[in-house]
Structures are given as structure tokens and as C-alpha cells.
Structure 1
Amino acid sequence: MATRTTIRKRFFALAAVTAIASLALTGCASTETESSDLGELNVQFSWIKNAEFAGEYFADSNGYYSEAGFSSVNFIAGPTATAAVVLSGEALVGLSDPIAVTPVILEEGAPLKIIGATYQKNPFTILSLKDGGNIATAQDLIGKRIGVQAGGNETLFDALLAANGISQDQVTKVPVEYDPAPLVNGEVDGFLAYVTNESITVANLGFEVTNLLFADNGLPFVAEAFVVTQDSIDNNRAALKSFLYATARGWKDAIAEPNEGARLAVEVYGKDLGLDIGKEQQQSVAQNSLLVVTDETVANGLLTISEAMQASNIATLSGAGYAITADQLFDMSLLAEVYQEHPELLE
């Protein structure tokens, strides 16, 4: 079953970074969003090439990246240690999230920043079957067997417990792989998943599902965030702004045409994955309404992270044991310049 069957290594903490190579893209700093010679654009995805990245597909297929000055585009499928890829210079931009990036910044001294985010609300959930675990509240976790993938996913799950005053010995953490089969088979009562992905997959198998959303239970943070190096911000600003401009245009198209975004995933960018068009359409529609478009993005523009949202993310990280400031983690100045230069994006 070719679906994103879990968060898969999104939150893997990285080993010590010994060197930071020069970025694969080059370009002079500029106040203009577009440039005529930005070279190749490499983007590291957090996941396989499914409908999750519909906006990027539109930006490529409709020529927005080309118009913005990039000679070619390479989308690199995940999952992987995104921060390491960006630090190595193999990608100008990597898609990740604050909980994955913050430990690398604090513990490894990595000069990374988040400059925008597709998902204003993170999609992580404890998925359960209504006639099984039926985990509807955080307190329902107590005494349950929860399937959690090894690595950074454990950190995320432990943060959920801590945010809700639940000790780890009150829950049985069951090591699982990346397929929700253990949930369907009754081996676990709950499964760490995406509300826009595994939840749809399991529901399509005929099961009534219950979702315990992390964002509504003490862990609100953005996801599919654009991670870049400070060096790129300082010395490759034109390329970053051009990426943001073209990607915002692409996501406007993805919101207007969710089924086309699904088709691009199934027939073009993820054509070798055996994706199911019906499921991808469901995901495309769901992510737009649940995660991408909010009152804040309507007011401020797609991909933006407001000061209030940044503060919420910092509070979440603090609850998970990470002391970091918004200035250490976020730099929204590039996107602010993009919207100032292109007010039509707000239309």
C-alpha cells in the first residue's frame, strides 16, 4: 500500500554536524524576488511524493519556478534527516518542522532557520478505531498500547504525554514500523499517524476511526516548514525569496484545484509509487481545509507564520524541554518582503 504510513523519521535528531558545505544553489543577494540566473533548485521533501506537496508540483508544472529564475527543479523524496541534507548543501530548502529542527540547532549548534510553513496546524494524531481503543481524549491514553515508531517519533509522543501530565509508565509504548496494520489487526490500541493520511487510509478500509490531534492537545506547531541555512539567508536571499514566491503561487493553485494536485502526485511526480487517486484526492482536500488555509493565512498570506503562531510553537517546544527563542528559530523577513513586493498573492 503506497501511502505515507507514518511520520517516518521526520523527527530524527541528528548526529553531530562536522562541517557545512556550500549550498548547491548560488545567486547574488537581491531585494527582488525574481532573478534570471539562480541555477538549479533542490528541495528536500519530508515524505514520499504524494499529494502532500501539491503546491510545489503546481509551482513546477506551471512554470513558476522557471519564471522565478531557476534553471531546473529537483524534488528529493523523503523521509530522511532533512536538516542534515540542508546543512550539507544538497538542498537549498528542506521541509521539516520545529520539533525536528530545534534539537539540531541547540545541541549541534547548526545555523538553521525556518522561513515559512505550508501547514499552519500540524497533522499529527493518535489514530484509533472507534470500536477499539477509541482514544478521544489525552486521558484515554492511560493504560493503552500505543504504536510509536523508533527515533524522533518517540520524542514527539513523549512530549504529548508530558503536555498532558501523563507519565510514561502509564502508557505501553509498542515499537512499530510504518504501516498501520498493527492498529487494524488489534495489536495496538492507538497509532502515531497523520490525520490527513493514515486516518484516511484506515477509514477507507471500512473502519470508523477516532483521532487525538496533537495540535488540540497541548502540542500546536507548524509542519512542512521550510528549513534553510543562515548562510543562504545572508548570501543567497534572492534564491530563497524566489522559491517562496513561486511556492506561494503554487499553493494558491493547489487550494483552487485539489483534485489536480492529487493527479499531479499520482500521474506525474509520484507515478512510480502506485498511489491511489481517490485517497490522494481526499488528502488534498483535507489538508487544504484543515492545515493549509486558516484565518491567519487569509489575512497574512499562505506559508506565513504569525508572531502569535511563533509564540505558540516556542511554548510547545518549551513543554518538550527545548529552550529556544523565536528569533533563534524563525526568520519571516524574506516572506514579508515577498508579500510586500507581490501584494497580488493576497488576492
Structure 2
Amino acid sequence: MTLSTRLTTRRTTRPAARGLRAAAALTASLLVLTACGSDDSETASAGTDGESDFGALTLQLSWIKNAEFAGEFFADTNGYYEDAGFSSVKMNPGPGPVETLVATGEADFGLSNAVAAAQVIAEEDAPLKIVGTKFQKNPFTILSLKDGADIATPEDLVGKKIGVQAGGNETLFDALLEVNGIDPSKVKKVPVEYDPSPVVDGEVDGFLAYITNESLTVSMDGVEVTNLPFADNGLPFVAESVITTDQMIAEEPEKVKAFLEAEILGWQDALADDEESARLAVEVYGKDLDLDMAKEVEQAKVQSELVVTEDVEQNGLFTITDELIASTLATLDAAGIEIEGDELFDLSLLTELLEEKPELTELPD
């Protein structure tokens, strides 16, 4: 496999294709976007120690400050952002219009997913690219009860009532049916919010959820669950991906590489210590959120399987192979989003970084 050199309970407002609701806001924002970025995104200059000084860093997270962002917490705690040349770092929690905030310069980088980013790029001509990804496998799933509908294969969806959130998640569910050749008329979609109670209470047979979130919430309440992961059933696409602007890539490439280096180092630490990943979320960064330690530890363990794959073991964290890009584009096509690989991805700076510092490709034991 080769690397391409260029090419989100509680999730109350975090569907996969958030662009449908953010489109108007993004269009208006882009109309007033000037040629310069945010005030914190100045061109790198030499600091007093002779090293790069990229100024303050603003990172837009895709969700609340839980263990999903353990790598970012480690990068901050262990000084990797500072070592990379950033004078300070501000991590803004989600949910929110990540793509709009990055496109308009209100954040230097954001954590999004291929569906959400592609939609605003394709429909609103947003000047964005994915420059690396944390999750090689997206966390979307159809959650069901083991002693209930027990939906283990796409064919098990036939004749079932499935709770699906409106908007982007509905688009994704329709794509799941299409790629698996299932007649939509044979599956009843039931409008739900993001609380998995309907599947627990038997109001629906299945529930569109996150493996790292609602599925864990239900199972940790002592209920045995079955998951039907989208990534393993015809809809693979990257998620928790780093997005930034075309301008940032063109005018401040060293800043992009510095950020990616700090991220990789942070995630190397996170993957090596689930307990500390959870502690940083519960006691430090998300201390006001009343997070459950056991659930955060389990989330750290489960999401590592989305982060580390055979390709990552071979190529390093945040890399995306040409094959995965092709699979992502096929998923986008099934979801009705027309976009080319080089319109969505630019991995050239990540490739440069890993060539310059091959030690970054190492993974913890």
C-alpha cells in the first residue's frame, strides 16, 4: 500500500454531514473572509531562542473534552505544542460548525470527518483540506440489544425499526442501505434524538450510534449489545480528521507540519496509557463535565482500534493510504456527495514531515 502524496448520548448536534445545516452560515462567512487568516495564524518567525514561533494555536474540537481527545490533552500537558513552536493552545470544545470555524479563520485547525468536510467543500466551495486523520475507521454503528433484535448483519435490518437522527446521519443510513442492496421500503426509519433510550426501552430495534459513545453507555449499564459498524459493512471513511485551509497549507506549511508533529507525539502517548488518557479527560480537561472514569477508560481502549490499523502500523499515525482514500470517496458517492480526492485531501505536508522525522512513524509497544 502506498501513501497518497496529495489527495462525532449525547452527540446532540454532531451528525456526520453537518454541512446541510452549516451551509448558509459558511456561505455568508466566506463572503467576508479576507485574504489573511485569523490573528493567531501569522507567518512563522524566529523566536528569541532561534526556533520557530507560530504564535497562539486555536484548535476546534468536534465534541466535548472527553477521552476522544486524549492525544490532544497529552500534547498540551507534555509540552509538545510548545516544543513545536506554539506560544499557547486553545482547544475549543464542540459541538459546533467545525468546518465553518476553520474556513473563516476562527480556528487554525479543526477535527472533522470526511463526510462533513466533503459536503461543505463540494456544496459551498469551502477552502478546506484534510491533512491527516486520527480515526482510520469511522465509529458509526447500528446499535441493538443482544437479546433483542441482535442486528449483526446488514440483512438483519430488513423488517426492523431503526432510530435515525435527522440530517447527516439520515444521509449516512440511506447510504448504508444502498451499498448493501437493501430496499429502503423494507426498513422503517424512526426519528430519534441522540439519547439511546429508545433502543433500550424497545421503541426501536436498532439505533444509529457511535461505537465509542452510545454503544459504550448502554453496555456499561449492564446491557449486552450488538454493533453493526458502518466501516465494516460497506461505508468506510476517515473520521476525526485534521482540517485546515488551503491558504494555511500554501502559506504556512511549517506551521501545519509543526501541528501534526505535536499531534502525533500526543497520540503516541495516549495509545500507550488508557488510564492516563481517561484521567486527563475526567480530572483536568473535562473536569466540569462530570465524566465517568470507567467509561472514559473503556472509550480510550475502544477508540485505539479505530486509530491503529495494519496500515498505521506500517506507515504511522495520521497517514491515509490511497486505498483508504478510494474507499472514502466511494462512501461519499453513495451518500450523494460528488468530490475528487485532491479536492478533499492534501497529505503532502504529512508526507514531508514523516520523511524528515521517520521516528514519528513509531508506535508504542
What TM-score does the superposition give when structure 1 sets the normalisation length? 0.94
Q: CA deviation at 1:141?
A: 1.1
Kindly provide the amino acid, as one letter, of the partner of residue 224 in structure 1: E
Deviations 1:140-170 (A, max 9, x none): 1122111111221111111111111223322
Check 1:170–1:35 CA distance in 2 against 1; reply closer, same or farther (3 A cut).
farther
Question: Are residues 1:182 and 2:198 paired?
Answer: yes
1:96-175 matches, cutoff 5 A: 96-175=112-191
Check 1:171–1:42 CA distance in 2 against 1; reply closer, same or farther (3 A cut).
same
1:1-347 matches, cutoff 5 A: 4-5=10-11, 8-13=14-19, 14-16=22-24, 17-18=27-28, 19=30, 20-21=33-34, 22-24=36-38, 25-28=40-43, 36-288=52-304, 290-347=305-362
Check 1:61–1:346 CA distance in 2 against 1; reply closer, same or farther (3 A cut).
same
Where 1:11 maps in the other structure, the secondary structure is coil
Q: CA deviation at 1:57?
A: 0.5
Q: Is the 8 A contact 2:11 2:63 kept in 1?
A: no
Q: CA deviation at 1:120?
A: 0.5
Where 1:305 maps in the other structure, the secondary structure is coil
C-alpha RMSD over aligned residues: 1.7
Q: Which stretch of structure 1 is more off in the superposition, 199-208 or 320-329?
A: 320-329
Q: CA deviation at 1:250?
A: 0.3
Q: CA deviation at 1:284?
A: 0.3
Q: CA deviation at 1:27?
A: 3.6
Check 1:91–1:242 CA distance in 2 against 1; reply closer, same or farther (3 A cut).
same
What residue in structure 1 maps to residue 5 of structure 2?
A: none
Where 1:135 maps in the other structure, the secondary structure is coil
Q: CA deviation at 1:199?
A: 1.2
Deviations 1:1-27 (A, max 9, x none): xx6457833421232413235432324
Kindly provide the amino acid, as one letter, of the partner of residue 156 in structure 2: D
Cα separation, 2, equivalents of 1:23 and 1:258: 36
Check 1:35–1:184 CA distance in 2 against 1; reply closer, same or farther (3 A cut).
farther
Q: CA deviation at 1:35?
A: 5.2
**Where do 5+ consecutive residues of structure 1 fail to align?**
none
Where 1:219 maps in the other structure, the secondary structure is coil
Cα separation, 2, equivalents of 1:236 and 1:337: 14
Where 1:78 maps in the other structure, the secondary structure is coil
**Where do 5+ consecutive residues of structure 2 fail to align?**
1-8
Q: Among the aligned pairs, what percent are the same residue?
A: 58
Check 1:35–1:338 CA distance in 2 against 1; reply closer, same or farther (3 A cut).
farther
Kindly provide the amino acid, as one letter, of the partner of residue 264 in structure 2: A
Check 1:6–1:197 CA distance in 2 against 1; reply closer, same or farther (3 A cut).
farther
Cα separation, 1, equivalents of 2:228 and 2:242: 26
